[in-house]
Amino acid sequence: MPRAFPDNVLDAGDVLIVGAGLAGLFAALKLSPRNVTVLASQPIGGGASAWAQGGIAAALGAGDTIEAHIADTVAAGAGLVDEKIARLIATEASDRILDLVELAVPFDRDLEGKLKLGREGAHSHDRIVRVRGDRAGAAVMGALRERVRATPSINIIEGVTAHALGVVEGRVCGIFAPNWREAEKPPLFIRARNVVLATGGAGALYAVTTNPPEALGEGVAMAARAGAVIADPEFIQFHPTAIDVGRDPAPLASEALRGEGAVLVNDQGVRFMEDVHEAADLAPRDILAREVHRQRGEGRKTYLDARAAIGAAFAEKFPTVFAACQAAGIDPGAELIPVAPAAHYHMGGIAIDEWGRSSLDGLWACGEVTSSGAHGANRLASNSLLESVVFAARVAQDINGNDAPNAARAAVFTPRFGHADGLINSKIAQRLRWIMGTHVGVVRSADSLKAAARELAALEAEADASPGAGAAFANMFTAARFIIAGALGRKESRGGHSREDFPKPHETFRKRTFLKLSDVESAGAAQEVVHA
Ligand SMILES: Cc1cc2nc3c(=O)[nH]c(=O)nc-3n(C[C@H](O)[C@H](O)[C@H](O)COP(=O)(O)OP(=O)(O)OC[C@H]3O[C@@H](n4cnc5c(N)ncnc54)[C@H](O)[C@@H]3O)c2cc1C
């Protein structure tokens, strides 16, 4: 078992942020001029954040109110939204949008120069700030990337994946990452007084997903392995309209298309949502995803029809979706777009309080890796970018007011590291993703979830015996197990969690799920406590 010796210890100093999507970069900027190191597995400014198409929700329009935004968030969350947190994100939305305007994000404006607001499903008002139709994520991240690179107090380490947290006497004091300078050497321990996880979601644990390949739930697994509480892991949001052209990840046909009047149809030309929900094609995402899933289960093909509603204006109004369709040989203004449900957003994650504090000393978290209670059982469209900026700012404020002790001089345990290169394309990862998609997907049951647990256990034994085994794989298995354990425990259907054997919500389960690693599996598969 490798140990982290002092020459394998790097000092990140004051604050180490893991992840460089919207949550990570916004936190880094809010902490400036304090010294911060941002470490990310991909070039900074990427992640799901850069792919966001819709925009950011904020009650800024005439006639809209913070109370209405809270009410919509609570209604979408199907009984599990923490109203205090919903209030907090809705209230702070306007200040955070102003921050982004100051960072030169070119939000769409009307002729008078006021922010233009779009409508998305389950919002009672026009309240989505956008950039050039569906370019919000790319524009926001472009502006942040530029500012972060120009900020001297922010050090950047790109292309390095964290696989474990270091804990000394109950306080998180750094992370372990492969030794990128000398690959044969034991992992590096990068220590810091304060650690922030902003590693994004877990959609790539599923075979069909809109998420980037690095969204493997590693943040949840790392935190859980270090002892943190994980909340609501069973709640995955499946987007009803991923473009079904065999690409991995699946490109997204944004909800905004349905906002503009595009409709779901099957291969018999039937508009099937009209009989299912009064809001038809603008029904909540979970309802749409289940119906698309049901149609496909009956052998129907499912399509988004934007011909009448958008037609020739498609390329101009939705350039990202247009490009994805064109790449697949589809003209979305004149032809049907094949669509399927895809894992899109993780409502569950590291349990945090209103300041982004996890249950572990020294560890904060923000963005999709968390479960703050803002989304309950089902996230309202465009509330996740909002939650990311609101909590990134709160984490920064909390750390700024926090006089942390010096990080310990040595690591206390080392994880077993393997070769994570090509992880997502490995046979083991592909099999895991298939298991999750097949047994833990849009509709689950006790039988399917137990089958998933059995198949995962067999696969993990295979993975452990393979030469590439290590902390990265172990983290994937851990994150998957949390989702399964939460789903098995929740014997009801609510929001994004749908059980064939318990098809209705039940009052007994009108509460959030909180789990620790010991609730999910026996600890210690990939790390061993070695006191230095
Ligand atoms: C296609 C698509 C469209 C969307 N559209 C919208 C929208 O319009 N509005 C909205 O509100 N939400 C939208 N969402 C959801 C939203 O984009 C995400 O929830 C949000 O961007 C998450 O931000 P984040 O900073 O937490 O994570 P991300 O932006 O995903 O960033 C994660 C970062 O962590 C890094 N990382 C991951 N694991 C590790 C590791 N182990 N070690 C080191 N680094 C690691 C990654 O490299 C990346 O830098 C969309 C999501 C998708 C996939």
CATH code, domain carrying 333: 3.90.700.10
CB-facing half-sphere around the CA of 140: CA atoms within 13 A: 34
- Per-residue exposure over 479-497, b if at least 16 CB sit within 10 Å of its own CB, e if not: bbbbbbbbbbebebbbbbb
Q: How far apart are CA 113 and CA 105, in angstroms?
A: 14
The CA–CA distances, whole Å, from 3 to 28, 78, 192, 471 equal 30, 47, 19, 14
pLDDT in the model for residue 438: 97
Nearest by Cα to 198 from 362, 46, 367: 367
Nearest by Cα to 352 from 479, 225, 220: 220
Strands 188-197 and 363-365, bridge-based pairing: parallel
Question: What secondary structure letter does DSSP report for 379?
Answer: P
Number of H helices, E strands in the chain: 14, 20
CB 96, CB 30: distance < 8 Å: no
Which residue has the CA at smallest separation from atom 14 of ligand 1? 52
pLDDT in the model for residue 122: 84
206 lines ligand 1 (CB under 6 A): no
Is 5 within a domain? no
Out of 130, 135, 145, 285, the active site residue is: 285
* CATH number of 475's domain: 1.20.58.100
164 lines ligand 1 (CB under 6 A): no
The CA–CA distances, whole Å, from 235 to 78, 223, 232, 305, 486 equal 11, 18, 6, 29, 8
Number of domains within the chain:
2
Ligand 1 atom closest to the CA of 136, numbered from 1: 8
- List all residues 6 or more positions away from 297 whose beta carbon is below 8 Å from its beta carbon: none
Separation of CA 47 and ligand 1 centre (Å): 4
161 lines ligand 1 (CB under 6 A): yes
Ligand 1, from 216, 368, 478: best to mutate by most atoms within 8 Å of Cβ? 368
CB 141, CB 389: distance < 8 Å: no
pTM of the model: 0.95
Tokens of 204: 């790539």
DSSP letters spanning 6-21: GGGEEEEEEEEEE--S
3-state secondary structure of 271: coil
The CA–CA distances, whole Å, from 391 to 97, 198, 348, 482 equal 13, 10, 15, 23
211 lines ligand 1 (CB under 6 A): yes
209 lines ligand 1 (CB under 6 A): no
Tokens of 59: 């009650």
Nearest by Cα to 88 from 424, 497, 373, 385: 373
Give the alpha-carbon dihedral of 355, 361, 362, 365, to 10 degrees.
-40
Nearest by Cα to 442 from 235, 193, 175, 157: 235
Q: How far apart are CA 176 and CA 191, in angstroms?
A: 9
196 lines ligand 1 (CB under 6 A): no
Separation of CA 145 and ligand 1 centre (Å): 14
**Cα torsion 151, 154, 160, 163: sign:** negative
pLDDT in the model for residue 527: 36
38 lines ligand 1 (CB under 6 A): no
pLDDT in the model for residue 403: 64
CB 233, CB 350: distance < 8 Å: no
Boundary (domain end) residue, out of 284, 315, 342: 342
pLDDT in the model for residue 419: 60
Ligand 1 atom closest to the CA of 44, numbered from 1: 49
Tokens of 18: 């893991």
Ligand 1, from 144, 145, 375, 384: best to mutate by most atoms within 8 Å of Cβ? 384
Give the alpha-carbon dihedral of 174, 163, 30, 229, to 10 degrees.
-80
Residue 285 annotated among the catalytic residues of the structure: yes
250 lines ligand 1 (CB under 6 A): no
pLDDT in the model for residue 526: 36
Separation of CA 200 and ligand 1 centre (Å): 5
Nearest by Cα to 202 from 371, 15, 57, 354: 371
Peptide bond before 33: cis, by omega within 30 degrees of 0? yes
Is 138 within a domain? no
Amino acid type, 20: A
Is 259 within a domain? yes
Is 496 within a domain? yes
Is 368 within a domain? no
Boundary (domain end) residue, out of 342, 373, 403: 342
Phi, psi (5° rounding) for residue 438?
-80, -40
First to last CA, the chain: 13
Map tokens 């069909």 to a residue. 208
248 - beta bridge partners? none
Instruction: Please list the helix, strand and coil fractions of the chain in percent, rounded to the nearest 5, in that order.
Output: 35, 20, 45
pLDDT in the model for residue 3: 53
pLDDT in the model for residue 420: 58
Separation of CA 525 and ligand 1 centre (Å): 28
pLDDT in the model for residue 464: 80
The CA–CA distances, whole Å, from 337 to 273, 289, 432 equal 16, 16, 28
Is 295 within a domain? yes
CB 89, CB 392: distance < 8 Å: no
Low-confidence ranges of the chain (pLDDT < 50): 1-2, 410-411, 522-532
48 lines ligand 1 (CB under 6 A): yes
Separation of CA 213 and ligand 1 centre (Å): 11
42 lines ligand 1 (CB under 6 A): yes
Peptide bond before 178: cis, by omega within 30 degrees of 0? no
430 and 338 in one domain?
no
Is 2 within a domain? no
pLDDT in the model for residue 2: 46
Separation of CA 405 and ligand 1 centre (Å): 31
Tokens of 83: 């109203």
338 and 245 in one domain?
yes
Ligand 1 atom closest to the CA of 210, numbered from 1: 53
Separation of CA 478 and ligand 1 centre (Å): 20
Supply the range of the domain harboring residue 446.
417-512
388 lines ligand 1 (CB under 6 A): yes
Separation of CA 459 and ligand 1 centre (Å): 27
Ligand 1 atom closest to the CA of 344, numbered from 1: 53
Is 191 within a domain? no
